[in-house]
Chains A and B, each alone.
Chain A
Amino acid sequence: MARTSSSKENAQALFHSLRSAYAATPVNLKIIDLYVGFAVFTALIQVLSLIFRNPFSLPHFYYLEDPQVVYMASVGSFPFNSFLSGVLSCVGTAVLAVCLRIQVNKENKEFKDLPPERAFADFVLCNLVLHLVIMNFLG
Chain B
Amino acid sequence: MAAPETSTAAVQTLYTNNTLRNAFGGVLSFFILLLIGVMAFSIRLFSVIKYESVIHEFDPYFNYRVTQFLAKNGIYEFWNWFDDRTWYPLGRVIGGTVYPGLTLTAGTIWWLLNSLNIPLSVETVCVFTAPIFSAFASWATYLLTKEVKGTGAGLTAAALLAMVPSYISRSVAGSYDNEAVAIFALIFTFYLYIKTLNTGTLFYATLNSIAYFYMVCSWGGYTFIINLIPMHVLLCIVTGRFSSRLYIAYAPLVVLGTLLAALVPVVGFNAVMTSEHFASFLVFIIIHVVAFVYYIKGILSPKMFKVAVTLVVSVGLAVCCAVIAVLIALVASSPTKGWSGRSLSLLDPTYASKYIPIIASVSEHQPPTWPSYFMDINVLAFLVPAGIIACFLPLSDASSFVVLYIATSVYFSGVMVRLMLVLAPAACITSGIALSQAFDVFTGSIKFQLTGASSNTEVDAAETSSSTAESQTDAVKTEKPEETAKNRPSRKSKKKEREHGEKPSTKAKAEKKRLLALPLESSVISLLLLVLLGAFYVVHCVWAAAEAYSAPSIVLTSHSHDGLHVFDDFREAYAWLRHNTDVDDKVASWWDYGYQTTAMANRTVIVDNNTWNNTHIATVGTAMSSPERAAWEIFHSLDVKYVLVVFGGLVGYPSDDINKFLWMVRIGGGVFPHIKEPDYLRDGQYRIDSQATPTMLNCLMYKLSYYRFVETDGKGFDRVRQTEIGKKYFKLTHFEEAFTTHHWMVRIYKLKPPKNRIRGKTKKSKSKTSSTTSSPKRSGTKKKNPWQ
User: Which residues in A have some Cβ–Cβ distance to B below 8 Å?
Assistant: 2, 7, 10-11, 13-14, 17-18, 21-22, 24, 67, 71, 80-81, 84-85, 88, 91-92, 95-96, 98-100, 102-103, 108, 110-111, 114, 118-119, 122-123, 125-126, 129-130, 133-134, 136-137
Contact, CB under 8 Å: A18 / B244: no
Determine if B307 is an interface residue (Cβ-Cβ < 8 Å): yes
Tell me, rounded to whole Å, the shortest Cβ–Cβ distance linking A47 to chain B.
13
Given A14-B304, A130-B255: A122 in contact with B262 (beta carbons within 8 A): no
Contact of A17 among B301, B330, B333 (CB under 8 A): B301
Q: A136 to B263, Cβ gap below 8 A?
A: yes
Give the interface centre of A17, A67, A95, A130 by most chain B CB atoms within 10 Å.
A95
- A133 is contacted by which of B245, B259, B291, B306 (Cβ under 8 Å)? B259
**Interface contact A95-B202, CB-CB below 8 Å:** no
10 extra interface residue pairs, beta carbon distance < 8 Å, beyond A125-B202, A129-B256: A10-B311, A13-B307, A18-B299, A81-B262, A92-B255, A102-B244, A110-B200, A110-B245, A125-B203, A125-B206
Select the residue from A13, A67, A92, A99 with max chain B CB neighbours within 10 A: A99
Contact of A14 among B209, B251, B308 (CB under 8 A): B308
Asked if residues A67 and B262 are in contact (CB atoms below 8 Å), the reply is no
Interface: B300 (CB within 8 A): yes
Bound-state CA distance A136–B261 (Å) is 12
Q: Main secondary structure on chain A at its contact with chain B?
A: helix
Pair B200/A111 contact, Cβ less than 8 Å: yes
Q: Would you mind naming 7 contact pairs between A and B with Cβ atoms under 8 Å apart?
A: A18-B296, A81-B262, A88-B258, A95-B255, A102-B244, A108-B244, A133-B259
Nearest-neighbor residue (CB-CB) of A136 within chain B: B263
Does any Cβ of A come within 8 Å of B243's Cβ? yes
Partner of B201, one of A80, A98, A118, A133: A118
Q: Which residues of the partner chain A approach B296 to less than 8 Å between Cβ atoms?
A: 18
Min distance, Cβ B361 to any Cβ of chain A, angstroms: 31
Q: Is the CB of B251 within 8 A of A130?
A: no
| Docked complex: B196-225 residues within 8 A CB-CB of A | 200-203, 205-206, 209-210
Contacts of A14 in B (CB 8 A): 300, 304, 307-308, 311
- The answer on a CB contact under 8 Å between B299 and A114 is no
A103 touches B209 (CB 8 A): no
> Does B31 touch A at the CB level, under 8 Å?
no
Shortest Cβ distance from B203 into A: residue: A122
Closest to A128 in B: B206
- Residues A114 and B243 in contact, CB atoms below 8 Å apart: no
Given A18-B300, A102-B248, A110-B243, CB of A2 within 8 Å of CB of B206: no
Q: Distance in Å from the Cβ of B256 to the closest Cβ of chain A?
A: 6
Contacts of B255 in A (CB 8 A): 88, 91-92, 95, 130
Query: In the complex the two chains form, what is the Cα distance from A80 to B270 in whole Å?
Result: 12
B204 nearest CB across to chain A (Å):
9
Q: Does B444 lie at the interface of the complex (its beta carbon under 8 Å from any beta carbon of A)?
A: no
Chain B binding surface, main DSSP class: helix
Cβ–Cβ contact A17 & B300, under 8 A: yes
| Set of chain B residues within 8 Å of A98, measured between Cβ atoms | 247, 251, 291
Q: Is B260 among interface residues, defined by CB-CB distance under 8 A? A: yes
Question: Which residues between 571 and 624 of chain B lie within 8 Å of chain A, taking CB atoms?
Answer: none
Q: How far is the CA of A92 from the CA of B259 in the complex (A)?
A: 10
In whole Å, how far is A85's beta carbon from the nearest beta carbon of chain B?
A: 7
Chain B residues lying within 8 Å of A96, measured Cβ to Cβ, are 202, 252
CB proximity of B308 to chain A, nearest CB, Å: 5
Residue of A nearest to B298 (CB): A107
A32 to B296, CA, bound (A): 17
Instruction: Compute how far the CA of A29 lies from the CA of B209 in the bound complex, rounded to whole angstroms.
Output: 26
Are B245 and A21 closer than 8 Å at their CB atoms? Answer: no
A52 to B296, CA, bound (A): 33
Bound-state CA distance A21–B205 (Å) is 31
Shortest CB–CB separation between residue B276 and chain A, in angstroms?
17
- Judge whether B382 is part of the interface by a CB distance below 8 angstroms: no
Q: A13 near B202 (CB under 8 angstroms)?
A: no
Give the nearest-CB partner of B253 in chain A. Answer: A95
Q: How far is A10 from B314 in the complex, measured between Cα atoms in Å?
A: 14
Q: Is the CB of A88 within 8 A of B299?
A: no
How many whole Å from A14's CB to the nearest CB in chain B? Answer: 5
Known: A92-B252, A119-B202. A17 touches B262 (CB 8 A): no
- Residue B355 at the chain A interface, CB threshold 8 Å: no
CA distance in complex: A111, B299 (Å): 19
B202 in contact with A100 (CB, 8 Å): yes
B30 in contact (CB, < 8 A): no
List chain B residues, Cβ under 8 A from A80.
Answer: 269
B272 an interface residue at 8 Å Cβ cutoff? yes
Question: Who on chain B is nearest to A107 by CB?
Answer: B298
Distance between Cα atoms of A13 and B305 in the complex (Å): 11
B259-A122 in contact (CB<8A) = no
A13–B620 CA distance with the chains assembled, in angstroms: 75
Q: How far is the CB of A86 from chain B (nearest CB, A)?
A: 11
For B244, list chain A residues within 8 Å (CB).
102, 108, 110-111
Instruction: List, in ascending order, chain A residues with CB within 8 A of B200's CB.
Output: 103, 110-111, 114
* Closest-CB distance, A133 to chain B (whole angstroms): 5
Question: Who on chain B is nearest to A24 by CB?
Answer: B299
Residue-wise, chain B 695-711 has the 8 Å CB interface mask toward A (1 for contact) of 00000000000000000
Q: How far is the CB of B277 from chain A (nearest CB, A)?
A: 13
Inside 8 A of A123's CB, which chain B residues have their CB? 202
In Å, the complex CA distance between A28 and B306 comes to: 29
Which residue of A is nearest B301, CB measured?
A: A17
A10 touches B307 (CB 8 A): yes
Q: Give the shortest distance, in Å, between B645 (CB) and chain A (any CB).
A: 43
- Measured CA separation A98–B250 after assembly (Å): 12
Residues B299 and A85 in contact, CB atoms below 8 Å apart: no
Contact B263 A137 (CB under 8 A): yes
Contact B243 A99 (CB under 8 A): no
A13 partner, pick from B209, B252, B291, B304, beta carbons under 8 A: B304
- A110: which B residues are within 8 A, CB to CB? 200, 243-245
Quick check: A126 and B311 within 8 Å, CB to CB? Answer: no
Which A residues are CB-close (under 8 A) to B304?
A: 13-14, 17-18
CA distance A21 to B298 in the complex (A): 10
- CB distance A126 to B245 under 8 Å? no
Partner of B248, one of A84, A103, A125, A130: A103
